[in-house]
A and B are shown apart, each in its own frame.
Chain A
Amino acid sequence: MRYEPVIGLEVHAQLQTRTKLFCGCRTTFGLDPNTQTCPVCLGLPGALPVINEKAVELAIRTGLALHCTIRRLNRFARKNYFYPDLPKGYQISQYEEPICEHGWLEVSVNGTWKRVRIRRAHLEEDAGKTIHMEHVTSSLVDLNRAGTPLLEIVTEPDLQSSEEVVAYLKALRDILRYLDVCDGNMEQGSLRCEPNLSLRPVGSSQLGTKVELKNINSFKFVKDAIDYEIARQTRVLEEGGTIQQETRLWDWDRGKTVVMRGKEEAHDYRYFPDPDLVPVHVSEDWIAQVEATLPELPQARQRRLMTQYGLPEYDASVLTSERALADYFEACVALFPDAKTVSHFVMGELLREVKQTGGSVEASPVTPAHLAELLKLVESGVISLKVARELFPELYATGKSPAQVVEEKGLQQISDEGMLRSWIEEVLRTNPNQVAQYCRGKETVLGFFVGQVMKASGGKANPQKVNELLRQVLAAWKEA
């Protein structure tokens, strides 16, 4: 029997608010332990939560971008369980009444578009961090993260391969970044993904037993963990076994999933409405206001870049993977309309520098205006394309204007006919054999002459002009 995987995804996205969901502590990552806490997020006796309006707004923003219905009357519930990084002994979440429902996201997998249904997205607070150490009888708890706002985005089981999952996750991350909702950093845990996966015989409409996967903190691990789990479950079924409903952790070290340790008592979270919070009513006006501020989303922008600028799909998808990058590209094209050339520079030189220096596109010292200026220098023959490429790292490092640097370093191309002719004649004189070959009809030596002339000029000669003049001079010599 052949089996096919049925995969659904739960994604926890940390919302980019300045402060926590229910208190004014900052959400900054990587600070000293327990330095971002207050009575509310420490769960001190008597402290009470008050919801951060911005977090609700970001949830609405995401919901609209994912074509969800936005719930008008929102209530919060307590999810009760004990864990050291959960200071109140309950997590404030939304249970039966998520703020966003029934949406979808289209993803492109191997050139075909697939619509993934979003079941729900709801607001909840994050837990702190527990550090477990080997060979020690205690664990350590840091509550800095406790209370950070999360949006949990849950799909229907519409995905069928690790490629689809990764494509969905990337598309979702791009959208969240476009919206300024989440920085999408999987390694730092601001985007966390928990797939659930089951197998069923091909053609069957019944769902098999579901396994949940946790501890996945990069796109690579998503793919690896799902591929591993599909193979594992297939093997179990083929050997006549049955799949246990369980949660498995991805052990990246060993490259396999392992069962999460002992859950002897079935979970009973005893959800009930949190009496400390009042309902959040999302009005038509509020939704309209948020909608008015939504940016053009990556997929729409990608399609537009392809039609408007004639870019290939690959270029358009790279450029739109990040809002700042697409903004950069379009700002530059507005000043220098050769989209293809701009796109090559942005995808090549700019992204390389950004990556190498660990910077960001927004903060690029080479502004779109600088890049346009640089490309204009190439267009007008002042410098060669090669020089422009070579110059880019320095421009990025210094932030100076390209014209100024070209001027300072004397990099202008030499197009003066007199100069060029004297170099050409010198080269032809010193290479009589090659001239003879040319005269016998071997045109390929032309490249050799160009190279020699460039060398003689110290790289500054305008190669196009050199080419042109060489032909003229050689033609004259041939006649003579």
Chain B
Amino acid sequence: MRLSEAEVEHVGALARLALTPDEKEAFRLQLSRILTYMDELRVVNTDGITPMSGMRTNENVFRSDEPQEAFPQEQALANAPDSQDGYFRVPKILRDR
């Protein structure tokens, strides 16, 4: 699998990484090489094999609907790079979700 520049840019945008032109090229080459190596998976026959999305340690692990103590507001915001009036503050959102 060889990645194109456009693919690297698309993936970088999805991951919210502002890559420099040098990084883009380096990642294109490195990821292409790694993905080529990973193409060896194609030869493994996985017909009828259930994919494993995680260890099945158990199932039906629940929490009861009992309230726990919440952080005071100051603690919730303690590590925030920016806050105002009890809110996290972020630069203006120019696009809707």
Give residues in A with beta carbon < 8 Å to B. Answer: 17-19, 22-26, 32-38, 42, 50-56, 75, 81-84, 130-132, 136-143, 247, 249, 260-265, 268, 270, 272-273, 275, 278-281
Contacts and interface: CB of A to CB of B under 8 A. Distances in A.
A211 to B, nearest CB: 15
B77 A137 contact: no
A273 B54 contact: yes
A46 to B, nearest CB: 13
Contact of A262 (B59, B65, B92, B95): B95
Given A24-B63, A24-B68, A84-B93, 14 more contacts: A34-B76, A35-B73, A36-B70, A37-B76, A52-B65, A75-B53, A83-B97, A131-B87, A138-B90, A247-B96, A262-B94, A265-B10, A273-B53, A275-B53
User: What 7 A-B pairs are tightest by C-beta distance, nearest first?
Assistant: A24-B68, A140-B87, A53-B62, A273-B53, A54-B65, A141-B88, A275-B54
Contacts of B93: 84, 130, 132, 139
7 contacts: A26-B67, A52-B62, A139-B91, A139-B92, A141-B87, A261-B95, A280-B60
Interface of B: 10, 13-14, 16, 53-54, 56-68, 70-73, 76-77, 82, 84-97
Contact of B67 (A18, A22, A275): A18
Label chain B's interface by main secondary structure.
loop
Given A24-B67, A53-B62, A136 B16 contact: no
B18 to A, nearest CB: 13
A81 B68 contact: no
Contacts of B13: 265
B85 A140 contact: yes
Nearest to B95: A262
Given A138-B90, A143-B88, A260-B96, A34 B73 contact: yes
Contacts of B91: 137-139
Nearest to A51: B62
A55 B65 CA distance: 8
A82 B65 CA distance: 29
B63 A82 contact: no
A86 B50 CA distance: 32
Nearest to A86: B97
Contacts of A281: 59-60
Contacts of B64: 52-54
A18 B62 CA distance: 15
Contacts of A273: 53-54
Given A139-B90, A143-B76, A265-B13, A50 B63 contact: yes
Contacts of A18: 65-67
Contacts of A26: 67, 70
Contacts of A247: 96
Nearest to A28: B67
B63 A261 contact: no
B97 A81 contact: yes
Contacts of B68: 19, 23-25, 38
A368 B65 CA distance: 33
B14 A270 contact: yes
Contacts of A137: 91-92
Nearest to A81: B97
A187 to B, nearest CB: 21
A396 B61 CA distance: 47
A164 B97 CA distance: 29
Contacts of A132: 92-93
Contacts of B59: 278-281
Contact of A84 (B57, B65, B90): B90
A208 to B, nearest CB: 24
B77 to A, nearest CB: 6
B70 A278 contact: no
Contacts of A141: 87-90
Interface centre among A24, A36, A247, A265 (most CB of B within 10 A): A24
B80 to A, nearest CB: 9
Nearest to A266: B10
Contacts of A84: 88, 90, 93
A51 B61 contact: yes
Contacts of A264: 95
Contact of A35 (B16, B62, B63, B70): B70
Contact of A37 (B63, B71, B84): B71
A138 B14 CA distance: 23
User: Taking each of A139, A247, A272, which has the highest tally of chain B beta carbons within 10 Å of its own beta carbon?
Assistant: A139
Given A18-B67, A26-B67, A273-B54, A138 B92 contact: yes
Contact of B76 (A24, A42, A82, A275): A42
Contacts of B54: 273, 275, 278
Given A24-B63, A51-B61, A273-B53, A37 B88 contact: no
A280 B65 CA distance: 16
B89 A278 contact: no
B19 to A, nearest CB: 15
Nearest to A275: B54
